[in-house]
């Protein structure tokens, strides 16, 4: 069935941006869990088609989209200067925001939704699972480079787009509050998973405590470093561009490392239903460590290096707990395709956490090997 309301919104949004040529068509695009992403095509008088990414920002998740866009514009302008300095292509190696016809970075439609548009990064792919070790290695180099290139970005200029985004003890408090309310009535169907979280309560404050003790610095971080947020060249499979910049904020480098491990050092998809297929792959952990530390180019402190394995376990536990919280809340945050989707996602994360615990000493040795 045609979604005519969406089409009306799209038509309104499409008219507002400085796209070149005449509108040709659009399709829904990508596998993100948060925003509504569309690939739109325009055609010029010679028949040449130009692609753009048009996104409707999720206003349930991002309460102040103007602040999200302010961060993105500042960070991409900073990155463009760094890319020009090494003779790279600033329109391919970072996102370029297309302005509205009135010169703004976003458009609010008649329904109150916020839209933004980017140049489409052509001839590139984004992957939900690495197809081989090299794909994962290259994504690690991309996120390491990203971390390094933002090393001199003034963190005070950034808005906190989602407060306490990776504050795991706070996430645990929210989890407990959701259990208490049990809005969906689903609590009894997830008792094992709830116990899994409770048993790891003490671990959750490790990074916050390390920061307070001066062992873990705050840096400017991406905060959502899953593999489908980096574009690789479709032929060479080398990194092209890091995307999904909505959560760039002050944070811990070990969480950027950790979120990539959570998503990519698994033998199965984040929502694999057959848990016998889900394993933490220590070889992929090593591959990513090698690439990330190379990309960071010596900018991590010894304290950060020591806490990289903790970042991996923290992000995996936290994400599993977030999926579980959303399941208990009745699926209000992440996009889901069926009623158990968030519980299935939570179970894969907890399987990975258990296996990381089994490989703990090896993980520690690996991060020291590549420093
Ligand atoms: P979400 O926050 O919902 O994850 P993303 O910004 O990550 O949204 O976009 C979803 C997907 O769209 C990405 O995983 C990527 O595959 C693709 N994508 C996003 N921006 C671009 C771009 N400028 N060029 C090409 N593909 C893009
Ligand atoms: C969301 O936006 P996307 O799909 O790249 C989420 C991440 C989670 C991830 C789990 C803003 O990422 O924090 O780790 O899903 N992004 C936000 O797959 O909450
Ligand atoms: Mg994304």
**What pLDDT, in 10s, does the model give residues 28-41?**
999 999 999 999 99
Q: For the residues 56-85, what does the mean pLDDT come to? A: 97
Q: Hey, which of 33, 228, 245 would you mutate to test ligand 2's pocket, going by the most ligand atoms within 8 Å of its Cβ?
A: 33
In this model, does residue 1 exceed pLDDT 60? no
Residue 54 has which token pair? 């048009």
34 Cα: distance to centroid of ligand 2 (angstroms)? 7
Residue ID of nearest Cα to ligand 1 atom 20: 243
| % residues pLDDT > 70 (the chain) | 99
What mean pLDDT comes out for the span 146-151? 96
Work out the average pLDDT over 236-245: 98
Residue nearest to atom 1 of ligand 2 (CA): 33
Tell me how far apart the alpha carbons of residues 297 and 164 are, in angstroms, rounded to a whole number: 28
169: three-class secondary structure by DSSP: helix
Pocket test for ligand 2, best of 34, 174, 231, 257 (most atoms within 8 A of CB): 34
Per-residue pLDDT at 355: 98
Answer yes or no: is the C-beta of 241 below 6 A from any ligand 1 atom.
no
CA–centroid distance, 241 to ligand 3, in Å, is 13
Ligand 3 center to residue 95 CA distance, Å?
13
d(CA 106, CA 285): 38
Q: Is the pLDDT of residue 274 over 60?
A: yes
Average pLDDT, stretch 329-357? 98
Q: How high is the pLDDT of residue 3? A: 72
Is 147 in contact with 258 (CB distance < 8 Å)?
A: no
The per-residue pLDDT for 8 is 86
* 98 pocket-lining for ligand 1 (C-beta < 6 Å): no
Residue 7: the pLDDT is 83
Residue whose Cα lies nearest atom 17 of ligand 2: it is 34
- Mean per-residue pLDDT for 272-291? 98
Does ligand 2 lie within 6 Å of residue 244's CB atom?
yes
Q: What are 184-234's pLDDT values in tens digits? A: 999 999 999 999 999 999 999 999 999 999 999 999 999 999 999 999 999
The radius of gyration of the chain's CA atoms, rounded to the nearest angstrom, is 21
Task: Supply the angle between the helices 282-296 and 360-369 in degrees, to the nearest 10.
Answer: 30
Burial 315-346 (b: 16+ CB within 10 A, else e): bbbbbbbbbbbbbbbebebeebeeebbbbbbb
- 230-233 β-sheet, strand order: 124-125, 230-233, 239-242
- Flag whether pLDDT at 19 surpasses 90: yes
Distance between CA atoms of residues 64 and 140, nearest Å: 30
pLDDT tens for each residue of 150-169: 999 999 999 999 999 999 99
Report residue 180's pLDDT band, with 50, 70 and 90 as the boundaries: very high
Within 150-267, where are the H helices? 168-181, 191-199, 206-212, 253-264
- Band of residue 51 on the pLDDT scale cut at 50, 70, 90: very high
């Amino acid at each position: 069935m045609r979604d005519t309301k969406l089409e009306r919104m799209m038509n309104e949004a499409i008219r507002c941006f400085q796209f070149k040529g005449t509108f040709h068509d659009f399709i829904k695009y990508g596998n993100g869990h948060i925003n509504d992403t569309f690939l739109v095509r325009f055609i010029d008088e010679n028949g040449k088609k130009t692609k753009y990414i048009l996104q409707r920002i999720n206003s349930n998740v991002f309460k102040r989209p103007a602040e999200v866009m302010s961060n993105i514009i500042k960070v991409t302008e900073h990155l463009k200067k760094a890319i020009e300095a090494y003779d790279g292509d600033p329109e391919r190696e970072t996102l370029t925001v297309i302005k509205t016809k009135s010169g703004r970075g976003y458009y609010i439609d008649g329904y109150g939704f916020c839209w933004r548009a980017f140049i489409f990064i052509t001839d590139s792919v984004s992957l939900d699972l690495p197809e081989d070790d090299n794909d994962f290695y290259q994504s690690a180099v991309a996120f390491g480079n990203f971390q390094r290139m933002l090393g001199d970005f003034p963190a005070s200029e950034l808005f906190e787009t989602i407060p306490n985004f990776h504050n795991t003890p706070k996430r645990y408090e929210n989890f407990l509050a959701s259990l208490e309310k049990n809005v969906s009535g689903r609590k009894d169907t997830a008792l094992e998973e709830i116990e899994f979280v409770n048993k790891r309560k003490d671990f959750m404050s490790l990074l916050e405590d390390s920061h307070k003790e001066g062992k873990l610095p705050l840096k400017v971080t991406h905060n959502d470093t899953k593999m489908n947020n980096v574009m690789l060249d479709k032929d060479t499979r080398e990194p092209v561009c890091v995307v999904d910049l909505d959560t760039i904020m002050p944070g811990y480098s070990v969480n950027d490392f950790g979120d990539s491990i959570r998503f990519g050092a698994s033998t199965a998809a984040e929502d694999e239903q057959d848990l016998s297929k889900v394993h933490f792959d220590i070889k992929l952990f090593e591959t990513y460590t090698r690439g990330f530390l190379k990309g960071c180019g010596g900018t991590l402190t010894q304290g950060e290096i020591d806490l990289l394995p903790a970042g991996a376990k923290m992000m995996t536990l936290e994400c599993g707990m977030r999926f579980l919280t959303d399941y208990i809340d009745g699926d209000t945050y992440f996009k889901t395709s069926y009623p158990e989707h968030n519980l299935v996602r939570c179970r894969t994360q907890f399987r990975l956490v258990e296996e990381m615990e089994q490989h703990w000493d090896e993980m520690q040795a690996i991060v020291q090997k590549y420093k």
